[in-house]
Structures are given as C-alpha cells and as structure tokens.
Chain A
Amino acid sequence: MSRTIEMSELRKRYGANDVVAGVSLDVGVGVTGLLGPNGAGKTTLMRMLATVLAPTGGHLRILGRDLDDAEQRTDVRRQLGYMPQEPGFHRHFTVFEFVDYVAILKEMTDTHARHREVRRVLERVDLGDVAGRRIRKLSGGMRKRVAMAQALLGDPRLLVLDEPASALDPEQRMRFRELISELGDGRIVLVSTHQTDDVAALCQRVIVLRDGHAAFDGTPAQLSALARDRVWIADTRDDRAQLSWRTAEGRHRHVGDPPLGARLVSPTIEDGYLLLAGPAAIGKELAA
C-alpha cells in the first residue's frame, strides 16, 4: 500500500471563494508542518485530508486510496487519526468515557480490547491518572491531550493534527514535541500550527499556505534561508523596514530592506515565514 498523500490541483470553494485554490503536493512519512496566517486555508485543507470535507475540484489520494470510492474512503479512515482544531466533547463524559466512545466510532467493538486500547492511549498522553475525571473539569491543555489521545486510537498510519499545541503550557509543549517526533517514525504526521518554533523543532518538512496556495514547500532550514541577508538589528525603529519590532534587549529587529546603521543577523524560520506570508501573518505574529 502507498505511504503517501497525493494532492493535485486540490480545491475547496465556499460560495465565490476558493478557500483552497489548487494545491498540488505529495506528503510522505515523517512530520510535515503546515504554516499559514488565519484564513490561508489550513483548516480546510486539513479537513479534506482527514476525509471530513469533500474537495470541490482536483484529485486527492490518501495511502493509495481514492476517496470518491466509499469502501476505499472507509479503509483510509481505519488508518487515520484526526485531531480537529476545535475538538468537541460530550462534557458530561469522563476522559475514559469520551475516548472509549470515539473508539467505538473506530469500530472497536470488543469491550475488553477496547478498554485496553483506551488505557494505552491515555497513558501515552500522560492522562492515565485522570481517566475518571469529567471533561468539563479539565483545563484547556488537558482537553487538548484528550483530543490527542483519541487521535492515537488504533495506532493509525496517518495522523492529521490541526493546531494540537495551542493551549499547552511550556512543559506540556515539550512533551507534545517528544510525542509527535516519536510518532513521526514510520507514519505520516501532518501538523498545522501558528508556532514557527514548533515547526523548527519538529518538522522535517514545512509547507506555507497563503491565500489557498502552497507558497512554500521545503525544509525548515530552507524557509529560514528565505530571509538570509534580510534580517537586521538596529538601535532605532526604521519605517523603511518591512517589519520591525523591539526585542527583549531593547533593540529593534528589522525584516526586509536594511535601515541605516543596522547590523545583519542570522535569520530564523520565523523571519522566513513572516517575509513569505506577508501582512496577514505579520499582524498575527506580532500581536501574539
């Protein structure tokens, strides 16, 4: 069986807008990061890859399967773990009950085997101790981990994780990176995020979406390199810079054309992303 996702001129239209406007990519084993400003089409693309949204046009094959065929689509779903951007919960359920419920949706009908699998995935995300706690009593970060646990049910070959690290505190974020990097061995893992540092730390490959198109496809190092010779440090703010902000040391970091008296510095993946994604990303990143 193929171990790739193949997209060719993939489109999704809502009304008159092409939210995803002709994306052609092949994604293979390993961790691939999907970056992009709000409204770039990340979530729509992730939903199509998770088989919950049908494309308006183009071709999509997942693990060698054609999603237009009902049986092949079901076969893909048997090998898929999906964590939506805003996972919903039956709030009166306990953690165990919720994951157990999703396990039933994943065709795990044998009670004992299913409960064993539920315990396994809860341990995997360090939630074994709160299995009996009601979901409504959990923090945002713990709920994210519950959502992650259900995605791991059945040890899927393909993981589609839409902003899995949002709402996690720094320690949880490190544990999350550890988990994702382990999962990337032998699986296709697609991670959508706003966090460029997560991409730099985790992903072998990064795709930047802008206005529904794939504006960049390469390694994190290649994304950083886009800003080579375009990142500067100066003592004062200069309006000629494309982007400028005050650093923790009180100096000004400029991205774009060099202001007077500025010193060239090494770019980061964030600099490359900001240059590439343009004003939409700038507003988001600088406000954060």
Chain B
Amino acid sequence: MSTHIQAELLNAYARGDVDGAHAYSIEAHVVGCGECQASIGGLVAADRLERVWAEVGDRLDAPRVSPLEALLSRVGVREHLARLLVATPALRLSWLGSGALVLVFAAWAASQQPGGVYWFLVLAPLLPLAGVAAAYGPDVDPTYEVGLAAPLSSFGLLLIRALAVLVSTSAMVAISSLALPGLHWSAAAWLLPSLALTLCSLALATRVSAITACGSLAVVWMLATSVGRHIAEQPLDVFAPATQLACALLAVGAALVVVRNAENFERRGDLT
C-alpha cells in the first residue's frame, strides 16, 4: 500500500476541489513528504503558488494592525492612509494620553473655582495646536527627509495628519468639557478658536516651521485672551459671539492662505 497521496487526489487539491478536512489532511502529509511536495509543485499554477507565498509572507512579516489603525479602517479610512496616520507622533498613545491628562486636570480645576471655565476655554484650543506642531516636521518625524524626496505631497501629509489631530483632540476636549460646571453655550466656545488656530498654524507653516508657527500662535492666543479679559466685564465675555465670528473669519482667511501657499511648503523644506 502506497504511503503517498494518490495523484488524482493531489490533482483535485491543486484545482481547489477538495473540502476543508481533506485539504487539511493533504497539507499535513505534504509538509513532511518530499516526494509529494515535488509532485504537487508541478501541479499548482505558478501564479497561484506565488499568491500563496505572498500570503504566507504577509502572515509572517506584514505590518501589525494597531488598535488605532483598526479603528480608522472601521470608519472607512483606506489602509495606506491609516498607516500614514499611525506614524504621526501626535497620534501616539503617549501623546494623546498626556493631552487627556491635561484636559482632565483643566476640567477639574474649572469645576473647583469661579472663573475656572475661562481658563479651560483658553487652554483647550492649545491642545490641537500642540498636536499640529508634533504632527510633521524635521524635529518630530524621523522620516521627514526621506518623505520630502517621495512623490507624495509633504504638505498633503501635514494636512491629513493635522486633520486627524484636530478631530482626535477635539473629541477629547468635547468629552472633558462635559465636566464643566453649569453646562451651557460656553462648553463649546473653544471649538471655533481651535479651528482658527489650527488653520492659522497651517497657513504659517507655509512660511516657517510648524513648531515655530504653533509656538508663535500659542503666545498670540494667550496675549489676546489676556488683554480681552482685562477689557471685558466678565471673563467669559472674551468668548462672546463677536469673538466666535472673528475666529470663523480668521479660519476662512487662513484656509485661503493654505490653498494659495501650499507650494511654498513643498519647496521650502526645513533642513539645515
């Protein structure tokens, strides 16, 4: 009695015409039998064999899908875009965790003392701004120089990473703002300033580095809110509808500058 698999059965396996149980038995035998390996090697089409090897290689070496990547895929982000986003320093768990801690503390402090909400609203827009600074650039992205030489638009990469940072940090701020005392319109008063500051940072990044742009805007924001507080009758008046309108206009203006000056970013580089 032969100890090898019959040629007819091997042929059926090569065509994919055997059920799971038979396929498993055949594979278990072929792994340890050189003669059957040689037989089946000639039966399986080269392209199928290559596909199988590619799948085996992918199982062994292909990138692990991180929880963030899995989440992005679930909401419809394409695989290659998700991989670009998970490499964003500002989307790493350690960075987001630090941001969350700051927000929890700010929300807690706001609930403990009168006028605390004002400070929450001053600090909240700075989180996405810090995220944009840590999203892309020679100081934060180790593959920056290789990326500049690649055909994918570097400003486009900054934009998608900034968008991802804005969405994730805004979600964190929104959740923490629910802890503010006496929930009313002021709980959302950070939103337009956040958007305006983020877009202004991108507009400035077409001229100077993202870190310089974000740092300068953070200083300007702190000074502006500080001056506003001294002028306004109540601290929260700083974030009144007039301020919201100004931030909306600023955001639109900055978006136009971004569109117009994107080429500057591509050409400038920050290498020294």
Contact = CB atoms under 8 A, between A and B. Distances in A.
Contact of A132 (B60, B149, B271): B60
Contacts of B87: 90, 93, 101
Interface of B: 54, 57-58, 60-64, 78-80, 83-84, 87, 141-153, 157, 263, 266-269, 271-272
A contact residues, range: 35 or more
B62 A96 contact: yes
Interface stretch (A25-33, A51-59, A199-207, A244-252): A51-59
Interface stretch (A105-113, A208-216, A279-287): A105-113
B149 A51 contact: yes
A100 B65 CA distance: 13
A106 B151 contact: yes
Given A70-B263, A89-B142, A50 B62 contact: no
B62 A107 contact: no
Enumerate the 6 nearest inter-chain pairs by beta-carbon distance, A residue then B residue, closest first: A88-B142, A105-B150, A82-B149, A52-B148, A131-B61, A77-B151
A84 interface: yes
Contacts of B157: 105
A112 B150 contact: no
A104 B54 CA distance: 18
Contacts of A173: none
A105 B269 contact: no
B61 A132 contact: yes
Given A106-B151, A111-B79, A52 B271 contact: yes
A132 to B, nearest CB: 5
Interface of A: 14, 47, 50-54, 70, 73-74, 77-78, 80, 82, 84, 87-91, 93-94, 96-98, 100-102, 104-109, 111-112, 114-116, 119, 131-132, 150, 160
Interface centre among B146, B152, B153, B263 (most CB of A within 10 A): B146
B37 to A, nearest CB: 21
B200 to A, nearest CB: 24
Nearest to A50: B149
A102 B61 contact: no
A109 B61 CA distance: 18
Contact of B143 (A88, A115, A116): A88
A107 B151 contact: yes
B61 A94 contact: yes
Contacts of B79: 111
Contacts of B269: 52-54
7 contacts: A52-B145, A70-B266, A82-B149, A88-B141, A101-B143, A102-B143, A111-B79
Given A47-B271, A115-B54, A119-B57, A78 B151 contact: yes
B252 to A, nearest CB: 25
Contacts of B83: 100-101, 104
* B60, B87, B151, B153: residue with the most chain A Cβ atoms closer than 10 Å: B151
Given A82-B145, A96-B62, A101-B83, 13 more contacts: A14-B272, A52-B145, A54-B267, A70-B266, A84-B146, A91-B142, A104-B84, A107-B150, A109-B78, A111-B80, A115-B58, A119-B54, A132-B61
B148 A104 contact: no
Contact of A107 (B58, B78, B152): B152
